[in-house]
Amino acid sequence: MSAALMLFVCLLVWETVTPPAAAARVTHIEIDRVESPTFAGRAFGAVGQYEKIAGRAFGAVDPGATENAGIVNLDLAATDSAGRVAYGTDFVILRPRDPTKGNRTLFYGVLNRGNKIDLVLLNDVPYGPPTNTPHTATDAGNGFLMRHGYTIVWSGWQARGRAGAQCCVPDEPGVMGADLPVALENRTPLSGPVRDLFVGRQQTEPQTASLSYPVLSTDPRLMQVSVRARARGEQPQPIPACAQPSQAERCWEFAAEQTVRFQPGFESGLLYEFVYTGKNPPVLGLGFAVTRDVVSFLRYETADERGAANPLRLNEHDTGIHKALAFGISQSGRYLQEHVWSGFNQDERERIVFDGLIADIGGAGKTFSNFPFGQPGRTQGGHQDFGFPENWFPFAYDTQHDPLTGKHDGLLRTGSGQPGDGFDPLIMVTNTASEYWRKSASLLHTDSHGNDVPIPDTVRLYFFASTQHFALHPAPITTSLGQRLAKGPCTQEHNPAFRGPVMRALLLALHRWVHEGTLPPASRIPTRRAGSLVSAQDSAAGFPSIPGVAHIGDLNPTLVTHTAGDQARYTSLVPKTDADGNDLAGIRLPDIAAPVGTSTGWALRADVPGAMCGNWGQFIPFARTTAEREASGDPRPSLAERYPSRAAYVDAVRRSVAALQDQGLLLADDAAAYIADAERTAPIPD
């Protein structure tokens, strides 16, 4: 029996024993383990040692409350005797052992597919298994969040389910999820249409794939299966079931009601589509309310309904938390944008949830969560997950009129008259070049026709020039100077540029903005007005003709489908590049301001010619000498022509570092690390 169905059964029992309550909230918590001290007793400056608290939070929401009105299928979930819908979720807390030495600020890391990745970006922790189970002294990385005294909290919001299913997160050690009720029709789990799409050889197994939902029937005649090489401009080719008489080289069959097997196996890079009737959908939109209520409980309540103490409280009257910040990366950044727009920054007792947040690398998107058969694990690209809901109006934070839908809206709620009105947090939005090519990030600051629009005073937008979505470095790094990454499925090496040092400065700027009202650095984005935001075709035309590198000028479009079935396309724009192919506007890391090659946020696949290659971007090194450059026909000046000596390269990095510091975008420790790495990795021989 699935976790969701088990919860449904428990609800039917709980309905007869649970006393009524006036408001939805976390009803009770269970502490599974306390590790004090954690990180092998490592101390973090004046803050001292940290402890880890892990457990489960249980809560219930009122489906009739205005704050919950937008949760799809909440009215179809089972309720207790008080008319509330119950849930359970994992939580993990890292806090100073002496809370009085902390900064009284809750740092909430929004999980990415159940994973904790905040420490990768902010604490320079290598991505891998320890990321989800930080325990040893080295698992704290550089200790940035701890040295500044944050109380760090993670809690599950995505439903727990089968590994590989895009609806859910796997029930595996270290991966955090939520137990959400299933939607019911006449006390029977709901069924409905589902579409799944897989990129060949990206599954766990070479011959099998997990569907997002179990099928209503394993009759192969009720499943439509097809394959194609590219998402756009190519007709899908049907694939027959293996049980049907056929001379086809490919066929498929059910291995279980949620597993398909493909013969002879999935081919690298090809797109396999499955359309079927699924069943047992969790109420995925409830995950937003779970986050809202867990954070609200931790910052405002000293005890749960059963009298158990809030694990953060200082005494019977004080939780010790004065402010709360949220940080979301990629899927989690899109989640935070939807959290604000959907009104979940206001709890049911009319209190603010997050005072400030950073929505990182989410582009102009939201999540495919609050749908009858949602798949929050999807992230639409030019090749992968194409055609799934992610980008829809409104895109920008300020209110604007959209002629393509006729709607008048913005992501901020203040003045909307809807849930969340008056409870908007202070917001920073950070994006890389990948999000302009893949996630229509330009729509955050343009209208549907590509014209610049105002940015609210409570919002800052930052663009990291020539960087890729999220570089996964295999070892700890302080900066990305001198780093090289493999090609993977792409035609060129992955772009290694690492944003961590600047993100740390931005987090502290957000902290001061929330606590003291100190204004953070101004927005740094490409604009039409400045001529630094252009069409994809113009970008490709201005890109240098580098030997062996193709630029097809293909971005992932954002579309709106009208009732009649016709589609209209929003105008998505991309950053303009310099003569080297590096982006001109935005925050230029030392990797880009003192380049040793061309770095982009887009790339092409090697296994499917002309198809875009995921999030990785690319790095194309400069020739070392004039002779090498001329021999290859590379139009970009060589390293020797740019930097006549090691000292010249180090000086270029030093100037870039000083500029970032002057703009409030780099901390002193990270500035010193950049200069030290430049001296160590300078590519110019003396």
pLDDT in tens, 222-259: 999 999 998 887 899 999 999 766 666 889 999 999 99
| CB contact set of 164 (below 8 Å; sequence gap of 6+) | 170, 203, 204, 209, 210
- Asked if residue 129 and residue 35 are part of one domain, the reply reads yes
Q: What pTM was computed for the model?
A: 0.94
| 39, 174: one domain | yes
Q: pLDDT-based confidence at 15, cuts 50/70/90?
A: very low
The mean pLDDT of the chain is 93
Provide CB contacts within 8 A for 350, sequence distance 6+: none
Which residue reads 């919002």 in tokens? 459
214 vs 9, residue with greater confidence: 214
Q: Are residues 201 and 61 in the same domain?
A: no
The answer, yes or no, to whether residue 280 has pLDDT greater than 80, is yes
Q: How far apart are CA 509 and CA 504, in angstroms?
A: 9
pLDDT at 189 over 90: no
| pLDDT at residue 9 is higher than 70 | no
Same domain for 230 and 292? Answer: no
Helix (H, G, I), strand (E, B) or coil at 199: strand
**Is 375 in contact with 383 (CB distance < 8 Å)?**
no
pLDDT at 20: 39
Q: Which residues are CB-contacts of 319 (< 8 A; sequence separation ≥ 6)? A: 298, 299, 300, 301, 302, 310, 312, 313
pLDDT of residue 22: 42
pLDDT at 72: 98
* 16-25, 146-155, 519-528: least confident range: 16-25
Residues facing residue 548 across a β-bridge: none
Question: CA dist 66 to 294, 369, 417, 418, 658, Å?
Answer: 19, 19, 12, 9, 50
| Residue 406 placed within a domain | no
pLDDT category at 186 given cuts 50, 70, 90 is confident
Among 279, 313, 335, residue at a domain's last position: 279
Q: Does 294 fall in a domain?
A: yes
Does the pLDDT of residue 119 top 50, yes or no? yes
- Model pLDDT for residues 581-616, shown as the tens digit of each residue: 999 999 999 999 999 999 999 999 998 888 888 888
Please state, in angstroms and rounded to a whole number, the distance separating the CA atoms of residues 686 and 597. Answer: 20
The domain total for the chain is: 3
- Is omega for the bond preceding 595 within 30 degrees of 0, making it cis? no
Asked if the structure places residue 368 within a domain, the reply is no
Phi-psi region of 332 (alpha: psi -120 to 50; beta: other; left: phi over 0): alpha
* Residue 537 falls inside a structural domain: yes
Domain assignment present for 243: yes
Give the pLDDT confidence of 447-502 residue by residue, as tens digits. 999 999 999 999 999 999 999 999 988 888 999 999 999 999 999 999 999 999 99
Same domain, 144 and 35: yes
| pLDDT in the model for residue 184 | 93
Last residue of a domain, one of 222, 247, 279: 279
Residue 391 in any domain: the answer is no
- The answer to whether 328 and 360 have CB atoms below 8 angstroms apart is yes
List, in sequence order, every residue forming a beta bridge with 426; answer none if it has no partner. 356
Q: What is the pLDDT of residue 563?
A: 64
Q: Does an H or E element contain 676, and which? A: helix 668-681
Instruction: Tell me the C-alpha distance between 360 and 343, whole Å.
Output: 19
pLDDT tens profile 290-328: 999 999 999 999 999 999 999 999 999 999 999 999 999
Number of H helices, E strands in the chain: 14, 30
Classify residue 259: in a domain, yes or no: yes
Assess whether pLDDT exceeds 50 at residue 396: yes
pLDDT digits (tens, 9 = 90+) for 202-229: 666 788 999 999 999 999 999 999 999 9
Structure tokens at 339: 């959290």
Q: Is 269 found in the same domain as 201? A: yes
* Same-domain status, 26 and 155: yes
226 φ/ψ angles, rounded to the nearest 5 degrees = -150, 170
CA angle 603, 607, 611 (to 5 degrees): 45
Look up residue 597 and give its two tokens: 């090659």
- According to the model, what pLDDT value does residue 564 have? 64
Pick the more confident residue, 581 or 21: 581
The answer to whether residue 648 scores a pLDDT higher than 90 is yes
170 lies in the same domain as 286: yes
Residue matched to tokens 């569907």: 211
Q: Which of 339, 295, 301, 293 is nearest to 318 (CA)?
A: 301
Does residue 24 surpass a pLDDT of 60? Answer: no
Among 18-22, 528-532, 665-669, the least confident range? 18-22
Residue 686: per-residue pLDDT: 62
**CA-to-CA distance for 587 and 464, rounded, in angstroms?**
5
- Burial (0-12, 13-18, 19+ Cβ within 10 Å), 414: middle
Domain boundary among 298, 323, 348: 323
State how far the alpha carbon of 207 is from the alpha carbons of 147, 198, 210, in Å: 47, 12, 11
Place of tokens 């300020």: 398
CA 173, distance to chain mean position in Å, is 21
Judge whether residue 32 has pLDDT over 70. Answer: yes
Same domain, 40 and 161: yes
550 and 675: one domain? yes
pLDDT band at residue 569 using 50, 70 and 90 as cut-offs = very high
Using DSSP, state whether 86 is helix, strand or coil: strand
409 in a domain, yes or no? no
Q: Which domain holds residue 669?
A: 533-681
Q: Are residues 152 and 113 both part of a single domain?
A: yes
Helix residue ranges per DSSP H, 487-574: 500-516, 536-542
pLDDT value for 503: 98
Token couple for 592: 């880009």
State yes or no: pLDDT of 339 exceeds 70: yes
Indicate if 249 and 164 belong to the same structural domain: no
pLDDT interval class at 130 (50, 70, 90) = confident
